[in-house]
């Protein structure tokens, strides 16, 4: 049995200071795996702080995986290895045994619809060389192509290792412990993890069929957030997309923020396969918007590349921070992307993929309508469905040979009304031949209890 740290000499009695003291005790072996932490009230009394302050420290320790809560039994030092996937991300793998005929839980593109990178690989230099470590992080030729297709004239533009990397690096520059960040609910689950890892507080906002509701954003701004993360189109998981009118509405709300305008981070993760308008708040608020465009869904998840733009004062800080880590995104990968963005064959293949996903989503919506389920056709590759019971729906789909993702990881805590449950199905993977069978299984799963 280990011993709790000596708190009498602790000068920093903020949540981060308390968490730091216990974290150091764990790393030093003063607290051992399986040891129970003192109660919140005991620590609060010893330090002369509120129980809420100590609870916030315990939450910070839980987010790092150092401790685990066991309900009324208390909080304990983690005694099992921390999984490399967060609980939210583990749930995205989907329910059901291996070997099911259709895995529609992952939110990944159809590999058969990705452009062939063989020709691009043949044109890449056979040596992975670079003249100097201090070269410009973006190939000038790629920068020119990106700028030509960008939805607004960006002041600064760089490339990073995927959309989540771009969001992460932006949040690291903006968010400090205790800051609030507005997130859509539902949204991409790693966004919740990112904010929590940085010690931020999530402020959820609701969506309608055109993205973030202006009234919900107006209410959220009262919490004085430092950032808003949104998906302008092919929203994961709902498939909704903003239009120009919604962009104007959200801009008006942001400009009237009583406590200062937060940063807006736009994750345009499915740009190449989306059929919705290419809109961005940066056309009206270029000084406060970071716009991110990923090429994973359209050109290949394993390329791990995305472009991001924003005001120089922020993008330059992100580039400078990367120089102390990976420094740049592989110029070989940049060269491959450049080839795929300029090759007529690759352009045709991505265009065909866009058409295929468009047709598949409409086919699925039409099939569901025959079962009395009326939905607007989603943009992108996912379908978001309200169900009577999440677990029952997943089990029913599994019995039909289909794996789907439960809706819980996509939602911010109790952001939904009691009794609401959802599943996400990556219907962009469903071929026309399978659409009728999948729709029938989904229709039965919707009402399963």
Mean pLDDT over 39-53 rounds to 92
Lowest mean pLDDT among 72-81, 103-112, 336-345: 72-81
> Tokens at residue 334, please?
């940049």
The residues facing 180 across adjacent strands are 201
User: Is the model's pLDDT at 148 over the cut of 50?
Assistant: yes
Q: How far apart are CA 46 and CA 231, in angstroms?
A: 45
| pLDDT band, residue 2 (cuts 50/70/90) | low
- Express each pLDDT in 198-216 by its tens digit: 989 999 999 999 999 999 9
- The number of residues in the chain equals 449
Lowest mean pLDDT among 132-146, 297-311, 403-417: 403-417
CB 102 within 8 A of CB 110: no
Q: Report helix, strand or coil for 380.
A: coil
% of the chain with per-residue pLDDT over 90:
73
- Express each pLDDT in 363-404 by its tens digit: 999 999 999 999 999 999 999 999 999 999 999 999 999 999
**Residue-by-residue DSSP string for 324-359:** TTT-S--HHHHHHHHHHHH-HHHHHHHHHHHHHHHH
Is it true that 15-77 and 87-112+347-446 share their CATH fold? no
Residue 126: predicted pLDDT: 66
Instruction: For residue 74, count CB atoms less than 10 angstroms from its CB and return exposed for 0-12, middle for 13-18, buried for 19 or more.
Output: middle
Strands 402-403, 405-406: pairing is unpaired
User: CATH says 87-112+347-446 is which class?
Assistant: alpha beta
Mean predicted lDDT score pLDDT of the chain: 91
> Tokens at residue 352, please?
């065909």
Give residue limits of the domains in the chain: 15-77, 87-112+347-446, 117-344
Residue 259: predicted pLDDT: 87
Q: How far apart are CA 324 and CA 157, in angstroms?
A: 19
- Express each pLDDT in 262-311 by its tens digit: 999 999 999 999 999 999 999 999 999 999 999 999 999 999 999 999 99
| pLDDT band, residue 415 (cuts 50/70/90) | very low
Q: Give how far the C-alpha of residue 31 lies from the chain's centroid of Cα atoms, to the nearest Å.
A: 34
CATH classification for the domain delimited by 15-77, as one of 1.20.200.10, 1.10.10.10, 3.90.79.10, 3.40.50.1100: 1.10.10.10
Q: How far apart are CA 146 and CA 126, in angstroms?
A: 25
User: Is the model's pLDDT at 414 over the cut of 60?
Assistant: no
CATH number, span 117-344: 3.40.640.10
Instruction: Count the helix, strand and coil residues of the chain and give each as a percent rounded to the nearest 5.
Output: 45, 15, 45
Cβ-proximal residues to 380 (8 Å cutoff; 6+ apart), any chain: 233, 234, 235, 236, 239, 270, 273, 274, 297, 357, 361, 428
Q: How far apart are CA 34 and CA 75, in angstroms?
A: 9
Residue 16: predicted pLDDT: 84
């Amino acid at each position: 049995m280990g011993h709790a740290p000596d708190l009498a000499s602790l000068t920093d009695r903020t949540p981060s200071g308390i968490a730091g003291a216990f974290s150091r005790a764990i790393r030093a072996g003063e607290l051992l795996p399986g040891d129970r932490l003192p109660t919140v009230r005991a620590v609060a009394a010893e330090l002369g702080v509120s129980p809420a302050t100590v609870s916030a420290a315990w939450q910070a320790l839980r987010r790092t995986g150092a401790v685990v809560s066991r309900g009324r039994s208390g909080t304990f030092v983690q005694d099992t290895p921390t999984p490399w996937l967060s609980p939210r991300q583990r749930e995205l793998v989907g329910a059901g045994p291996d070997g099911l005929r259709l895995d529609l839980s992952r939110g990944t593109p159809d590999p058969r619809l990705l452009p062939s990178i063989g020709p691009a690989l043949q044109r890449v230099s056979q040596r992975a060389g670079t003249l100097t470590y201090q070269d410009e992080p973006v190939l000038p030729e790629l920068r020119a192509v990106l700028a030509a297709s960008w939805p607004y004239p960006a002041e600064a533009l760089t490339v990073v290792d995927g959309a989540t990397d771009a969001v992460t690096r932006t949040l690291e520059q903006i968010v400090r412990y205790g800051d609030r960040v507005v997130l859509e609910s539902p949204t991409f689950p790693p966004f919740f993890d990112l904010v929590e890892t940085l010690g931020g507080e999530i402020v959820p906002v609701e969506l309608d069929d055109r993205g973030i509701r202006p009234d919900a954003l107006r209410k959220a701004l009262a919490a004085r957030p430092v950032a808003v993360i949104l998906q302008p189109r092919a929203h994961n998981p709902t498939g909704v997309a903003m239009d120009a009118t919604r962009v104007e509405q959200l801009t008006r709300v942001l400009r009237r923020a009583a406590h200062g305008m937060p940063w807006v981070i736009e994750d345009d993760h499915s740009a190449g396969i989306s059929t919705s308008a290419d809109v961005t708040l940066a056309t009206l608020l270029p000084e406060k918007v970071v716009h991110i465009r990923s090429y994973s869904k359209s050109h290949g998840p394993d390329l791990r590349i995305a472009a991001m733009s924003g005001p120089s004062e922020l993008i330059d800080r992100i580039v400078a921070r990367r120089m102390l880590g990976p420094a740049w995104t592989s110029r070989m990968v940049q060269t491959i992307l450049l080839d795929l963005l300029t090759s007529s064959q690759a352009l045709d293949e991505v265009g065909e993929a866009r058409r295929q996903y468009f047709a598949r989503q409409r086919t699925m919506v039409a099939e569901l309508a025959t079962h009395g389920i009326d939905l607007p056709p989603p943009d992108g590759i996912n379908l978001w469905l309200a169900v009577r019971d999440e677990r029952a729906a997943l089990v029913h789909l599994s019995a039909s040979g289909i794996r789907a993702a439960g809706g819980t990881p996509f939602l911010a805590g109790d952001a939904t009304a009691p009794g609401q449950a959802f599943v996400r199905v990556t219907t962009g993977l469903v071929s026309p031949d399978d659409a009728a069978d999948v729709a029938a299984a989904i229709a039965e799963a919707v009402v399963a209890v």
